[in-house]
Structures are given as C-alpha cells and as structure tokens.
Amino acid sequence: MVKLSQNDLVILLVAISIMLIFSRIASELGKRVGMPMVMGELIVGVALGPTIFGTITPHAYTTLFPFTENAHFSLALDAILSLSVILLLFITGLELRFSLFLRHGKTALSTGLGSMALPFGSAFILAWFFPHWFFEVKDGPTHLLFSLFLGTAMSISALPVIARILLDMKLLKTEIGAVIIASAVFNDVVGWISFSFILSLVNKNTGGGSVLQNLVFIAVFAIFMLVVGRFVLNRSLPWIQTKLSWPGGVLAFSLSLCLLCAAFTEFIHIHAILGAFIAGLAIGDSVYFREEAREIMHQFVTNFFAPLFFVSIGLKVNFIEHFDPLVVMIVLLLAFGGKVIGAGIGARLGGMSSRRSLAVGFGLNARGAMEMILGSLAYDAGLINQAVFVALIIMALVTSITSAPLMRFFLDEKN
C-alpha cells in the first residue's frame, strides 16, 4: 500500500488546519456584517490561492499547497474534497422533500416550473447560438453539453442560502416562504439529476454508456431508491434509532448508505454526487429520521467538509487573471433575468400579487453554495473554462448577497 510520507502528511494536515481556521475566522467576521458563511470561505480560498497568496509569495504557496510538485498531497486532498462534495450533496438531499412541493399545489408547481424553464431555456439558447461569448467552439465536441450545463446552472437554486434568508426575514413559516422552499426543492431535485446526467455524458469518452442507457440508469436508480429504498428505510430506521447506540448507529448507517449509493452511481459512470443526493432524499424523507440526527449530520458536514470544499474553489484558479467582465456580465444578466422573470411569472400565474411574485423571484435567485459546487464539478470535468468558472462563482455570490435586500424591498408595503 502506498503511504503518505511523514512530510506529506505534515503538509496535508497543516494545509487543512489553515483552511479550517481561516474560513472559520472569515465566517465569524462575515456573520457580523450579514455575509453568508460560504462567502467568507470563498474569500479565504481566493486569499490563500494563486490569486493573492500565490502571487505575493509563490514559494510559500507551493510549500503549503504543493499541487503540482507533490502528487501524493494532491491525491490525498482530492480524495478529501471528493468526499466533501459527496457529503454536501447528501445533506442537501436530506433537506429536500418532494412532498413539500406536492403540498403547496398549483402555486409551487407554476413557480417551480417557471423558475426552471425560463432560466434553462434562455441560457441554453444563448450558449447554443453564441458559444464564442463563452470561448466555446460552435459544433465543437462540448458545444451541446456546455449549452445544457449553462441552462442547468442557471436554473438551480440554493436551498441552504434561501432557508437562511427566509429564517432571518422571519418568512420561513409563512405562505411565501413555503412557496419559495417548495419551488427550490423542485429546482434542486430536477437540477441535480439533470446535472448528473450531463456529467455522465462527459464520462462517455471514458467508458460511460449511451445517452439512453444513462437516462435509464438514472431513472431506475432514482425510482428504486425513492420507492423501494424508502420503504425499507421506513422499516429499518425506527429499529436502528432505538436498538443501536445513539447517535452513532444512525450516523454510521446513513453515511454508509450515502457512500454506497455514491459508489454505485460512480461505478455505472454517472457521477457519485447523484448517488449521495438520492440517498439523502430517501433518508431525509423518512418520518422516522430524527431531527437531532439531521442536525448532527448538518453540523458535521457544514463545519468540516464544507469549508474545505469552498476554500478549495479559491485554490483552483487565479480569480483576477481569469476575470472576464463580459462573461461575468452575461452570466449575471442570464441569472437574474431568467430566474426572477421565470419564477415571478410562475408565482403570478399561481395567484400571487405582482410584488410578492417578484419577491419570490428574488428569493429563488440565491444560488450560493449549490452553484459553486456545480461550477466546481463542471470545471473539474473539463466542461467549462476558467473564465466561465470565475463568472459562475461571482454570480453565486452576487445573487446570494442581493437576494435578501431585494426580497425585503418588494415585500415592504411602503415601497
């Protein structure tokens, strides 16, 4: 078995500690000015990465993060980051309940559809007809996949950020909050499944199946887990939570199931995130999964794995060098226009007033952590270039920061 040398291990542990310490400091400071936690983590990544630290002291940077010089370090950190993204998708799935979407009927349906269809359609059309704006080659090998990806990237929402915004605005338990959450559930479930499908098509060149085969695999796996899997979970979770030690038993069981599902989807050449996401959906939907277990799982992932992943985004590229104002502008316009108008029209058709519909649109516009994960995975898969990656990260930040004030503006009767 190949092992990390003592020196490699020391560097790896120091790098992880620094990422965790600085991201915690940034999050705590950011919290005082109302900044989302993920933004603090990203800023730390940019500061520690090639953009600032790597430019000012290149030697110190390559010593702390020897990605190119030390293959062992790179591999070990990559494994940790892969685990991080798998667990992030798992806890996202834990919180999404499709029944929430069903519960809110017509308004949630029209808002959910509107907030997906318009962003997806507008981004797809733009990427398809003007690929050169994103440095893509028309009719090139990734032209269609890139167009599909951009559409998906624009249609996804970030439930963690949205939930936090609604909680801070005391809207989480209101009708408008419920519609936003229900629509975000729809966006995320459809968005992540679509994204997994796109990634599986990227993998086609490395042994993946045909388009139809991948679609069938995804559908069969999702239906199996959400019907049979849930049935088994509803019978096994009460036993696990009462007969095995608490919370060790349920944590070990849930995480094992998550990793098994992730391994399975990776094995069939669909990305591991789909398995983790669907496992989260199946476990989180069970009424027998205790709220305390859910909280522990969230704390565990959000405070250890999430900072590592979001800091690593800043380590990937030089944000100043690859900042392209035109691409950023297009991505921002697409994101705001598609989501706000699409969700707004949907909510209006669902019976909401114009102002409340716009508030719903801006609420769903927050992309936050989910967009960053999506962008990062697409970048790693070679689906997007550095300029688009930077633009997506900036879009995720801008939409998250502007969501709350714009919602407040449209909900304030005085305006």
Binding site for another protein (CB under 8 A): 27-28, 31, 37, 91, 95, 97-100, 102-103, 105-106, 159-160, 162-164, 166-167, 172-173, 175, 181, 226-227, 285, 287, 291, 294-295, 298-299, 301-303, 306
With a CB cutoff of 8 Å and minimum separation 6, the contacts of 21 are: none
CB 276, min distance to another protein, A: 16
- Provide the terminal-to-terminal Cα distance of the chain, rounded to the nearest Å: 66
The kind and range of the H/E element at 199 are helix 175-202
Q: In angstroms, rounded to a whole number, what is the distance separating the alpha carbons of residues 107 and 188? A: 17
**Residue (27 or 385) nearer to another protein, CB:** 27
- Angle value at C-alpha 279, between 277 and 280, nearest 5 degrees: 65
Q: In angstroms, rounded to a whole number, what is the distance separating the alpha carbons of residues 312 and 306? A: 10
**Residue (212 or 287) nearer to another protein, CB:** 287
CB 30, min distance to another protein, A: 8
> Token pair of 215, please?
């679609």
**Residue (369 or 395) nearer to another protein, CB:** 369
CB 287, min distance to another protein, A: 4
**Residue (62 or 303) nearer to another protein, CB:** 303
CB 358, min distance to another protein, A: 22
Angle, helices 143-155 vs 368-380, to 10°: value is: 170
CB 81, min distance to another protein, A: 18
Q: What is the dihedral of CA 350, 163, 86, 209, to 10 degrees?
A: 10
Q: Count Cβ atoms below 10 Å from residue 280 Cβ, excluding itself.
A: 25
Q: In angstroms, rounded to a whole number, what is the distance separating the alpha carbons of residues 324 and 314? A: 16
CB 273, min distance to another protein, A: 17
CB 95, min distance to another protein, A: 5
Q: Which residue has the tokens 């998250």?
A: 400
> Token pair of 243, please?
């007969």
**Residue (91 or 395) nearer to another protein, CB:** 91
**Residue (109 or 262) nearer to another protein, CB:** 109
**Residue (291 or 413) nearer to another protein, CB:** 291
